[in-house]
Structure 1
Amino acid sequence: MAAASAGLLGAALPSPQPLGIGDPLFPQLGNPGYDVLAYDIAFTYPGDNSKPLDALTKIDARATDRLDRLNLDFTHGTVRAVEVDGRPAEFAVSGEDLVIEPSRAVAPGERFRVAVTHTSDPAGPKNTGGWVRTGDGLAMANQADAAHRVFPGNDHPADKAYFTFRVTAPKDLTVVANGELVARALSGDTRTWTYRGARPMATELAQVSIGRSTVVRRTGPHGLPVRDVVPSADADRLEPWLKRTPDHLEWMERKVGRYPFETYGLLVADADTGFELETQTLSLFERSLFTRGTLPEWYVESIMVHELAHHWFGNSVSPHRWSDLWLNEGHATWYEALYAEETAKQPLERRMHQAYLDSDRWRAAGGPPAAPRPPAAGQKISLFRPVVYDGSALVLYALRQEIGKAAFERLERRWVDQYAHGTASTDDFVRLASEEAGRDLTAFMKGWLYGEHTPKMPGHPDWRSKAPAKGSTKAPAPSAKR
């Protein structure tokens, strides 16, 4: 929990309170009244991943309302000072919000800058999100609502912004972050690395890796720089997997169009996270996915494609609300399954039939795809249930069955093109699908997205979904994919 070390806010305003933007799954996530344009975040890593990092987060924003006070999401660090437009500001902590009172109100439409001097603490319960302590340093896993365990900000994908990271670490360590390396400077026993992203990013997709790593470089389609970050001791062992990424990129581009970012690669971490994660331009993978030796090759490759597909579906086109998560995970699962069918003879229809059998049980346990139940208290990753993976890919399969393969493929390309580097909602998808189909699909999609029971599958009138056991609403374990 963030701890304020300066005076409390003045008594003229109501007492500080945590705010939110009204997300039904995360009511206090995000903050009203402003739009973040850019983050510039500096971390100083002490060389010990159990100790807090010193940090300075600068936020460039534009007010959408008059701001006598503004909130940032932040927890699990100590706030030492806050400035707004270069002037000291009073601040206090309420729940998981840092509440700031500038020396003068910010007018609607006015740009302003907030600078927060703070610590960023990697210690804490395992798998709660934020910093991940690896065998040789740190990485980040901020989905869904854990970026504010690392730095203060507007921690909701509806408010995407440009990011710059400046990380100072002992000179024998390697630092990699989202985007591209723009500067590196040695000073005594430390080195400062500066990375900048060329496209806006949701806070949950931020990534900084610090460790004894090797950066392996190669070239993807039309000269795309591909860089993988791996534990140095494992570079040779992992190369047979890493070299497949350019082919994965080419395959995805044939399906939906050009890769939407300036670089791509895998970050292979020496950590047991229990999941893989599509952090922007640098997807996070557990080392054991590639080294345990018990998983079929086709399965591992399909997971690699799953995280890559998110760069179109989830990273470039981000969810407007967390209940739109099915658009991220359903699409990533769809292309994961399609890749397995086309390259490893794993029939898509067979997988979708099995998902149909399980669909009613998944809906009973976790809600329908576009209206998932909130995550269990203290278990935020429980949001990532089968219904938002195969259960949501099943929605896409039903849509393809209904409108035909050619229209479906046109829709997919239009979706990632029309909403590139922005946010979009379930309603936006249904509207675009209707346009592509040439008829209103609202009623058809309503049952698939919001129905308590799974509708009849077009083209498969014999398919049946197994009814949930009476009184059974226990949610399945969260998925290992994100």
Structure 2
Amino acid sequence: MPLTLRRRMRAGLLAAASAAVIAATSPSPIPLGIGDPLFPHLGNPGYDVLAYDIALDYSGDNTAPLDAVTVLDARALTRLQRINLDFDRGTVTSVEVDGEPAAFARAGEDLVVTPDAPVEASARTRITVKHTSVPTGKNDGGWVRTGDGLVMANQADAAHRVFPCNDHPSDKAMFTFRITTRKPDLTAVASGLPIDVRTSAADGAVTAAYRTSRPMATELAQVSIGRNAVVRRTGPHGLPLRDVVRTEDRETIEPWLAKTPDHLRWMESRVGRYPFETYGVLAADVTTGFALETQTLSLFERRLFTEPRLPAWYVESIMVHELAHHWFGNSVSPRNWSDLWLSEGHATWYEALFTEDRTGRSLQERMRNAYRRSDQWRAAGGPPAAPEQPAPGRKLSLFRPVVYDGSALVLYALRAEIGQAAFDRLERSWVGEHAHGSASTADFVRLASRTAARDLTGFFQEWLYARKTPAMPGHPDWTSDAPAEAGGKAAKS
């Protein structure tokens, strides 16, 4: 054995032994969080993830764990003796920090890594985790099994059920995906644009690589694997569009896919240029009960496009809703999950505006109906910017009516309060000033006040935090039905 190899092996063994000693003499690993009001144990303090590189090896069996390697490039915000990553469900076989073996332990839904030496504040560090990624079939997010493969649905707190990460929208990062498939009829697609495709001479396995050109929140990551066709076209300003559909559905769904360029032009006419490198529709063979704005490749149930009983205006409204999220929610992500109203309220707002513009279905009437039910929604789940925690074991119960039409109602009231011109300036300024970052309700209140040239704190305090819906500007005759439960207590969902 060459001397240099012996030295490297000895160094690795000493590093592993040293890490084990540190782990044995330090306090027991504990799960951490950044203190999100709704998900207090989500995210981790002390570092900022700059980039993820995620390699997934898919055997063709969507019930079997995938072999995976996740590499995180991060910057320490403080001196780190331990590094907590959000990760649940998979099996970890090894961890390295900057190329050296590191001790690791599980604590709740955290993977707690103890490097050989502390990572100093402001230092860059690389964490490499070899693990499995498990599609359990549970209806709680992460991997979702399709009729012929897998897709991701990570919102709100399920990305860490797929890969180790800092699973909070306030820590966005660049992503590279490398997906290996071992059957010739399978196609793998991910968020971002393709950068490489390689076929193994040894066994014919195909590895497709994708990379984002803008930062992405973990909850918005998408990987699709299945017997799919990738349909390409061009959008406004030469934007590359790609849709992913089951090969057998391609002709049936094409009339809907062909509408995306028009949807993009409509959105751009209101809030400015589309903020990402590509866009597309992923029509998956799943029954989830929702669509999802996964970045650059929005997830939809295929039946949305194949069920003849669904009216055309409704299908397009859902498509525009998920597209609008790419400005509101994807480019400008919520700082905390209690800021969700900014994402869902705006997506609902533009969905409703589009429907009125194209079909004449009245926005005012929709908002009047929302106002009538607003007090009930606030009682059932809290006001728009102070939602109650989701029910235990039912994280998706966070997505209540108050964050959709109940929050679009806030925007309707704001437009009436400050006027159409100021409102339009505010919308463009919001997605421009906070592009590719995270922003809070307080940021929106400040920008709205600056745009309107007057303090709107009192207006927003009532509309966003009160249990009773304020009077609608310009519509003193509008009334809201009383909550079914006396005292305004929130009903359990």
TM-score tier, shorter chain, comes to over 0.9
Mean alpha-carbon deviation: is it higher for 209-218 or for 163-172?
163-172
Task: Output the amino acid matched with 2:72.
Answer: I
Looking at structure 2, the residues matched to 314 and 104 of structure 1 have their Cα atoms a distance apart, in angstroms, of 38
Looking at structure 2, the residues matched to 384 and 294 of structure 1 have their Cα atoms a distance apart, in angstroms, of 25
Structure 2 segments unaligned to the other structure (5+ residues):
1-18
- Equivalent residue for 2:14? none
- Equivalent residue for 2:55? 42
**Counterpart contact for 1:216–1:229, Cα < 8 Å:** yes
What pairs with 1:70-469 in structure 2 (closer than 5 Å)? 70-125=83-138, 127-170=139-182, 171-187=184-200, 188-469=203-484
Structure 1 segments unaligned to the other structure (5+ residues):
1-5, 478-482
TM-score (norm 1): 0.96
28, 41, 63: which is aligned to 1:15?
A: 28
CA deviation digits over 1:343-377, x for unaligned, max 9?
01110000000000000000000000000000000
1 or 2, which has the higher helix percentage? 2
**Counterpart contact for 1:271–1:287, Cα < 8 Å:** yes
In the TM superposition, residue 262 of structure 1 has moved relative to its aligned partner by 0.5
CA deviation digits over 1:208-237, x for unaligned, max 9?
000000000111001000100000000000
- Equivalent residue for 2:13? none
Task: Output the amino acid matched with 2:472.
Answer: M
In the TM superposition, residue 430 of structure 1 has moved relative to its aligned partner by 0.5
CA deviation digits over 1:65-96, x for unaligned, max 9?
10000100000100000000000000000000
In the TM superposition, residue 307 of structure 1 has moved relative to its aligned partner by 0.0
> The residue matched to 2:279 in structure 1 has which SS?
coil
> The residue matched to 1:122 in structure 2 has which SS?
coil
In the TM superposition, residue 21 of structure 1 has moved relative to its aligned partner by 0.2
**Counterpart contact for 2:378–2:490, Cα < 8 Å:** no
In the TM superposition, residue 124 of structure 1 has moved relative to its aligned partner by 3.7
CA deviation digits over 1:401-442, x for unaligned, max 9?
000011000100000000000010000000000011010000
**Counterpart contact for 1:178–1:196, Cα < 8 Å:** yes
Looking at structure 1, the residues matched to 83 and 212 of structure 2 have their Cα atoms a distance apart, in angstroms, of 26
Task: Output the amino acid matched with 1:256.
Answer: V
In the TM superposition, residue 32 of structure 1 has moved relative to its aligned partner by 0.2
Note closer, same or farther for the CA distance 1:474–1:432 as it changes in structure 2 (3 Å cut). closer
**Counterpart contact for 1:385–1:475, Cα < 8 Å:** no
**Counterpart contact for 2:33–2:42, Cα < 8 Å:** yes
In the TM superposition, residue 7 of structure 1 has moved relative to its aligned partner by 6.4
> The residue matched to 1:253 in structure 2 has which SS?
helix
Looking at structure 2, the residues matched to 283 and 238 of structure 1 have their Cα atoms a distance apart, in angstroms, of 15
Task: Output the amino acid matched with 2:406.
Answer: G
Looking at structure 1, the residues matched to 28 and 323 of structure 2 have their Cα atoms a distance apart, in angstroms, of 45
Looking at structure 2, the residues matched to 415 and 237 of structure 1 have their Cα atoms a distance apart, in angstroms, of 38
CA deviation digits over 1:22-58, x for unaligned, max 9?
1010000000000000000000001100000000000
Looking at structure 1, the residues matched to 415 and 47 of structure 2 have their Cα atoms a distance apart, in angstroms, of 39
**Counterpart contact for 1:58–1:115, Cα < 8 Å:** yes
For the pair shown, which has the larger CA radius of gyration, 1 or 2?
A: 2
Task: Output the amino acid matched with 1:391.
Answer: G
**Counterpart contact for 1:403–1:437, Cα < 8 Å:** yes
Moved over 2 A (4+): 6-9, 470-477
In the TM superposition, residue 189 of structure 1 has moved relative to its aligned partner by 2.5
CA deviation digits over 1:433-478, x for unaligned, max 9?
001101000001110000010000000000011110134756587x
Task: Output the amino acid matched with 1:400.
Answer: R
CA deviation digits over 1:80-132, x for unaligned, max 9?
0000000000000000000000000001000000000000000242x210001
Task: Output the amino acid matched with 2:174.
Answer: Y
- Equivalent residue for 2:8? none
In the TM superposition, residue 190 of structure 1 has moved relative to its aligned partner by 1.0
Task: Output the amino acid matched with 2:325.
Answer: H
43, 64, 68: which is aligned to 1:30?
A: 43
Looking at structure 2, the residues matched to 396 and 108 of structure 1 have their Cα atoms a distance apart, in angstroms, of 42
TM-score (norm 2): 0.94
Mean alpha-carbon deviation: is it higher for 359-368 or for 6-15?
6-15
57, 61, 77: which is aligned to 2:74?
A: 61
> The residue matched to 2:446 in structure 1 has which SS?
helix
Task: Output the amino acid matched with 2:333.
Answer: S
Task: Output the amino acid matched with 1:307.
Answer: E
CA deviation digits over 1:214-264, x for unaligned, max 9?
000111001000100000000000001000000000000000000000000
Looking at structure 2, the residues matched to 114 and 287 of structure 1 have their Cα atoms a distance apart, in angstroms, of 37
> The residue matched to 1:400 in structure 2 has which SS?
helix
> The residue matched to 1:307 in structure 2 has which SS?
helix
- Equivalent residue for 1:3? none
CA deviation digits over 1:299-318, x for unaligned, max 9?
11011000000000000000
